[in-house]
A and B are shown apart, each in its own frame.
Chain A
């Protein structure tokens, strides 16, 4: 799978796939691309070479200053000689040179931002990596903001992303393994893990699933996630995705495996368990007591988000006895003029909220003001005054909406919204019993889930008390002396 050719072993053998008129065929294969540059250069002492590259992908300065100078300004030995390569490397240490095995690789090399030097007389080609991928600078994280802690986020450039992680883990144990996935896009995917920590079984599963990917294109890590996540249909994410290098580093250091995808600022992490979705990077940059409390707060708001609307429906239309008398009277009088049953009311309001949210996400920033004004009308006092909903319902929807946003993981908050609507339907048909059935079904489902062989509900079930120190609570760092047991690490003590 490793596409980097070991040059020394190859350079003496003349590749078979390279035939006559290579340069012309390359030009033809790329369909006279307007950005294809094709120089002919005079070599010393004799002979010509053709220099081909896509000017949109390469650093032209380097070609002019380093590459062309190397080939034209001095007398070159024949490529058969070791001296040729020594000189080439000596002059251009930063540009990896390879010799393609066949025509296809040549084409791919050009498309990958390499410069092809075709030695026309010898019918040989060299691929010199002088690529200059365009990428934006390292910014602050957009979706996972923290108050304290590092403020770097991944970019779309794989090399930059890898460097961000390398920078944090200066260990020889860190293994990076590269693959190309996608028959058309040939996207570079890097699997990273700590050799001494990651469970070989998990690494093997990652490799197996990545190799099994049979697709034409990979444009984002989400594509990869869909291929390698658990096959069982589930609304819950079984891989963590993050744009923060510190999160990746901490997961790698706990023995998890991460997947970088070129062109995506989102990195995939696995295996992951249910309770890890409640921990935010901030937890580790704050005092442990505070972060434990915040974790409970997040779990509580998860509960709020999925149960509040359904509980409201169940209580108001089935189990009114649960309400204190005064509250019951208040709700009853508020609902006096409302035409819909409470479950219709709740569904309408929450759907409206979802629509507003989606509109807010997709529309141009400048229109934001308009949406917030209209949103306040639709979900607020105006709706109450119009007699469409009761004020209590507005509160319920608002609590739900806010609680939805608490989840530190975007994927997870989507699954929580799915559950929320399912539970509302159950509560509307069978009250608390329906809600119980929904909850039981969810728990059975969660218990049956596994993420790369690790049960999803670890460490609560199966109970691993030693792992509770960084799930439901976070103990101070000095107490975290052992590695999490969740994927049965090889090493126990940190």
Chain B
């Protein structure tokens, strides 16, 4: 009897064990049941106080069809208006036939007015979600957010990818934006006095929400473009920096190592690129006021010179001097401008917080002490790269 029992029962137990597994498939969702979100736009309706969210969902067949050039829409934008960020997924379920799939989104675009009010609840919502992305690029826009979201861009089919790629090129070539302008970098400084700069974009006025735009040869039309930086303290935007200031700000933070500069010597224009910029900061406390000594070292590359001068040691020295002087001036100007607006652009307050030792105790308590910082700037630079020309054509 035991033999028969054993023969019957072992398979039974095994079958039961398997049935645990086979009743599964709770989290299953096929790829073509997903609305792959590429870009998210957030705004607040000033009248109702509700949040407005735009989801830009990818249309896979549209993308593939585009490769075969029969111009179908690569993305669709959906708009929702709700009082809390968590309500959007529910709202989305009401109109999208597919499950919202935000794992792959490339960019968050936030309207300027919302950014100025503060983004804490959006940050918290995003960080709490299991499929959230915090290494996503954040953009602030001056343009109406509906226009940003309802724009087809040339070259890249996905607007989100397009602005992300644009942004990713900047640290390497122009220094107009930092690699560390992602959501997580803003998040990390939510409690510290440090400022962060987030890229500011604008959409060309002539944009149309129609896929026919993709047939137009004029690339500028209706494109998204980088226009500067939005300055963030904690979770809110406190001001706007133009491109030049963003470059300088990022250089001083050590996040940008290359900047492009135009110098004027004797009324002649001169384009150079400062490469491999190394900034050394030394903060000391003297009689209760912080002293910041900045030592900036850099290699210069001569892109274009129109001085009508031969290249020799003397010219080089002049270029070096001019650059040193101009950079020093700009930094001092940036500092002054920041002081007048209440922005600690040199990050002195953050440095103070990171100092150890008892002499810094008072300084740490005084939130405004950075305003009294004495600035000492030393710029050391050398022209290293000249291009392929030994002497410029003079045309004489």
Contacts and interface: CB of A to CB of B under 8 A. Distances in A.
Direct contact of A and B (CB under 8 A): yes
B24 A434 contact: yes
B29 A317 contact: yes
A332 B36 contact: yes
Contacts of A342: 30-31
A330 B30 contact: no
Interface residues of B, number: 25
B36 A321 contact: no
Interface string B141-185: 000000000000000001001000000000000000000000000
Interface stretch (A370-378, A423-431, A452-460, A486-494): A423-431
A333 B64 contact: yes
A320 B32 contact: no
B52 interface: no
A338 B31 CA distance: 11
A200 interface: no
Given A429-B21, A429-B22, A431-B27, A332 B32 contact: yes
A329 interface: yes
A345 to B, nearest CB: 10
Contact of A321 (B63, B104, B161): B104
Q: Which of A325, A338, A428 has the most CB of B within 10 A?
A: A325
Most chain B C-beta atoms within 10 Å of own C-beta, residue among A316, A429, A431: A429
Interface in B97-123: 101, 103-104, 106
A330 B28 contact: no
Given A325-B106, A328-B104, A320 B34 contact: yes
Interface string A323-355: 001001111110110100110000000000000
Given A320-B101, A320-B103, A333-B60, A429 B31 contact: no
Label chain B's interface by main secondary structure: mixed
A332 B29 contact: no
A333 B63 contact: yes
A430 B28 CA distance: 8
Contacts of A431: 27-28
Interface in A268-322: 316-318, 320-321
Interface string B6-26: 000000000000000110110
A318 B31 contact: no
A331 B106 CA distance: 19
Nearest to B26: A430
B385 interface: no
B21 A434 contact: yes
B30 A316 contact: yes
Nearest to A338: B32
B31 A316 contact: yes
A330 B24 contact: no
B131 interface: yes
Interface in B46-71: 58, 60-61, 63-64
A329 B101 contact: no
A427 to B, nearest CB: 10
A336 B22 CA distance: 26
A317 B31 CA distance: 6
B7 to A, nearest CB: 14
A186 B172 CA distance: 81
A317 B26 CA distance: 11
A358 B64 CA distance: 38
B72 to A, nearest CB: 11
B100 to A, nearest CB: 12
Nearest to A431: B27
Given A325-B104, A330-B60, A320 B31 contact: yes
A244 B25 CA distance: 47
Interface residues of A, number: 24
B30 A317 contact: yes
A3 to B, nearest CB: 37
B24 A430 contact: yes
B31 A335 contact: yes
Contact of B25 (A329, A331, A336, A428): A428
A328 B106 CA distance: 14
A434 B28 CA distance: 12
Identify which of B21, B32, B106 gathers the most chain A CB atoms within 10 Å of its CB. Answer: B32
Contacts of B29: 317-318, 320
Most buried by A among B63, B104, B161: B104
B32 A335 contact: yes
B57 to A, nearest CB: 11
A329 B65 CA distance: 12
Nearest to B22: A429
B60 A336 contact: yes
Contacts of B25: 428-429
A332 B34 contact: yes
A430 B21 contact: yes
Contacts of B64: 329-330, 333
A425 B22 CA distance: 8
A321 B103 contact: yes
Nearest to A428: B25
Nearest to B24: A429
B107 to A, nearest CB: 12
A335 B98 CA distance: 14
Contacts of B103: 320-321
A432 to B, nearest CB: 10
Interface string A405-439: 00000000000000000000110111100100000
| Candidate in B22, B30, B158 with the most chain A CB atoms within 10 angstroms | B30
Contacts of A318: 27-29
B60 A426 contact: no
A325 B63 CA distance: 12
A335 B36 CA distance: 14
Contact of A341 (B21, B24, B30): B30
Nearest to B28: A317
A342 B61 CA distance: 18
A331 B103 CA distance: 16
Contacts of A330: 60, 64
A425 B17 CA distance: 14
A425 B63 CA distance: 32
B252 to A, nearest CB: 34
Contacts of B36: 320, 325, 328-329, 332
Contact of A333 (B61, B106, B161): B61
Nearest to A438: B21
B65 to A, nearest CB: 8
Nearest to A314: B28
A428 B23 CA distance: 11
A329 B74 CA distance: 10
A331 B34 CA distance: 12
Give the interface centre of A332, A333, A341 by most chain B CB atoms within 10 Å.
Answer: A332
B299 to A, nearest CB: 36
A330 B31 CA distance: 10
Among B31, B38, B64, B161, which residue has the most Cβ atoms of chain A within 10 A? B31
A156 to B, nearest CB: 38
Contacts of A338: 32
A316 B29 CA distance: 8
B104 A332 contact: no
Given A320-B101, A325-B104, A336-B60, A331 B31 contact: yes
Given A333-B63, A342-B31, 8 more contacts: A320-B36, A328-B31, A329-B58, A329-B63, A425-B21, A426-B21, A429-B21, A431-B27
22 contacts: A317-B30, A320-B31, A320-B101, A325-B36, A325-B38, A328-B36, A329-B36, A329-B64, A332-B31, A332-B58, A333-B63, A335-B31, A336-B32, A336-B61, A338-B32, A342-B30, A425-B22, A428-B25, A429-B21, A430-B21, A430-B24, A434-B21
Interface of B: 21-22, 24-25, 27-32, 34, 36, 38, 58, 60-61, 63-64, 101, 103-104, 106, 131, 158, 161
Interface of A: 316-318, 320-321, 325, 328-333, 335-336, 338, 341-342, 425-426, 428-431, 434
**Would you list the 4 A-B pairs with minimal beta carbon distance, nearest first?**
A429-B24, A333-B60, A321-B103, A332-B60
